[in-house]
Amino acid sequence: MADGNTLWHGRFAGGPSEALRALNDSLPFDRRMFKEDIAGSRAHVQMLQAVGLLDSAELSEILLALDTVEEEMEQGKFDWAESDEDIHTAVERRATELTPAAAKMHTGRSRNDQVANDVRLVAIGEIDSLTEVLAALIGALLSRAQEALEREIYLPGYTHLQRAQPVELAHHLAAYCWMFLRDIERLGDARRRADVSVLGAGALAGSSLPIDPQMVADELGFSKLFANSLDAVADRDFVADLLYSLSVLGVHISRMGEELCLWASREFNFIELDDAFSTGSSMMPQKKNPDIAELARGKAGRLIGNLTGFLTTQKGLPLTYNKDLQEDKEPLFDSCDTVRLTLVALTGMINTLGFNVEAMQSSADSPYSAATDLADFLVERGVPFRHAHATVAGLVRKSLADETELVELVQAHSDLGPEAAELLQRGSGRNRRNSHGGGGAVAVAAQLAKLSELVGALR
C-alpha cells in the first residue's frame, strides 16, 4: 500500500479522522467506474496536449501509465492505497507513481466535472446493456406469443380479476411486449439526457486555461456539450431520469410477476414452471414456488425507493456541486443491477414455462364470458345496445337464480334463438373480436407481425 496522503492534504496540517474517511470515501462503490474514469482522463490529456498544456512526451507517458492502471484494475492486481478516497484519486495517484508527468493530469479539471462525466458514461453504458437485456425478454415473450397463436390457445381476459371475455393467449403475452417496448423508449429518453459532456466545467466555473471541452466531448463520443458550467457540475437529472425509467420498468415487471404467480397457483393452474426456474420448500415436499416471479414483483419496491431517495437527496441542494451528490452512484448501480438480474431470470422463466391449455381454455369457455357477444348479436339485428345489454343481463340473472343453463334460455328467447346459442359453444368466442388491436386471432396475427418488425429493428 502507498502512503496515506490525500489529493488535497496540502491545505491541511493534520490527517483526516477515521470516521471522516469511513463516511466520506466513495471508493468502495465508485471503483466500478474505473473504465469510464480512465476513458475521461485519456480524452482530457489528449486535449491538454492539443492546446499546448502538455508536450507529446508527457502525453505518451501519461497514456502509457493510464493503460497500466486500467490493466491492473481489470486484472484485480491494483494495489489500492489508504489514501484512495475515490476512483478518481486512485487512478491519478497510481498514474503519478508510474510517471511524474501524470502530476499534470488534473490541469484544468476538477473532480466535480470529472465525476459528473464518469457517471454520464456509466449511465449510457448501463442503458445500452439494459436495453439489450430487455429486448431479449421482449423477444422471448414474442416467440411464446407466436407459438400460442399457432396452437390457437385462448384464455379468459380479466377485468377486476373477474373473467371478462376470451382472448388469444398471444394477445395477453403481447401486451407485455408493448409495455416493455415503452420502457425501451423511456430508457432512450434517459440516454439522450445523459449524453452531454460536462468535462471542462471545472470545479464550477470553467477554467482560466485554454482548454477545449468540445474536443473532449468528441473524443468520448458525446452528442452534446454542456452550456453552463454551474449547471454542468450540479446536474444529476439524468440519474433521476434513469431511476424513473427503471422504476416504471420495475412496475411492469412487478405486474407480470404477480400474474405469473397467479397463473402458477393451483387455483388458476394456467402455467407449469420449469424446474430450473422454480424453487421448493424446505418443509413442504409438495411445493413448487414461483420465486423468480415473486422477486420480480418485489424488486419494484427498491427501484421506486432508489428513485424517491435520490430525488429527495437532490431536493433543496444549492448550486453547484455538493457532497450530497456522491449519493447518486449507489442507487444508480443498485437499480441497474437489480433490473438486469431480474430481467435475465424472467426471460429464462418465460422461455421454459409450459402452458396448461385445458385449464386456460375451460376457464374461458364459461358461457357467461359470451354475454357481450349475445348483446352484440342483438345489436347486429338493430336492437339498441342498452336494450340488448338489459336483455342478456336478465337471462344471466335468471340462469344463475334458477340454476338453468344459459344456453337453454338463449335458445328459448324469441330475439335470440338457436343461432345465438351457437355463440355459447366451446371456443367459439376466441376469434370474434378482430377489430383493430383486438383479442381475436386475426387481429392478433396482424399485431404480432407489427411487433416482430419492431423487435427486429431493436437488433
Q: Which residues bind ligand ARG (CB under 6 A)?
A: 26, 30, 86, 111-112, 115, 321, 325-326
The rounded Cα 213 to chain-centroid distance in angstroms is 32
Is residue 233 within 8 Å of 203, Cβ to Cβ?
Answer: yes
Any catalytic annotation for residue 281? Answer: yes
Contact status, residue 201 vs residue 226, Cβ threshold 8 Å: yes
Nearest residue (CB) to ligand ARG, 116 versus 142:
116
Smallest distance from ligand ARG to CB 27, Å: 8
Active-site annotation holder among 129, 281, 362, 435 = 281
Residue 118 or 219 with smaller CB distance to ligand ARG: 118
Smallest distance, ligand ARG to C-beta of residue 192, A: 23
- Which among 116, 78, 112, 119 is positioned nearest to 8, based on CA atoms? 112
- Catalytic residue status for 160: yes
Helix or strand (DSSP H, E) at 286: none
User: From CA 80, how far away is CA 431, in angstroms rounded?
Assistant: 65
The phi-psi region of residue 152 (left if phi > 0; otherwise alpha if psi is between -120 and 50; otherwise beta) is left
Provide the minimum distance between the beta carbon of 30 and ligand ARG in the complex, in angstroms, as a whole number.
Answer: 6
CB atoms within 10 A of CB 252: 18
d(CA 264, CA 271): 5
CA–CA separation, 341 and 338 (whole Å)? 5
Nearer to ligand ARG, 111 or 186 (CB): 111
Give the Cα separation of 166 and 436 in Å (integer): 16
- The CB-of-201 to ligand ARG minimum distance in angstroms stands at 12
Q: Which of these is catalytic: 160, 208, 414, 436?
A: 160
Q: Of 326 and 411, which has the nearer Cβ to ligand ARG?
A: 326
User: Rounded CA gap, 366 and 355, in Å?
Assistant: 19
Q: Where are the beta strands (DSSP E) in 34-174?
A: 154-159, 162-168
Is the Cβ of residue 30 or residue 168 nearer to ligand ARG in the bound state?
A: 30
Q: Minimum distance from CB of 125 to ligand ARG (Å)?
A: 17
Catalytic residue ranges: 160, 281
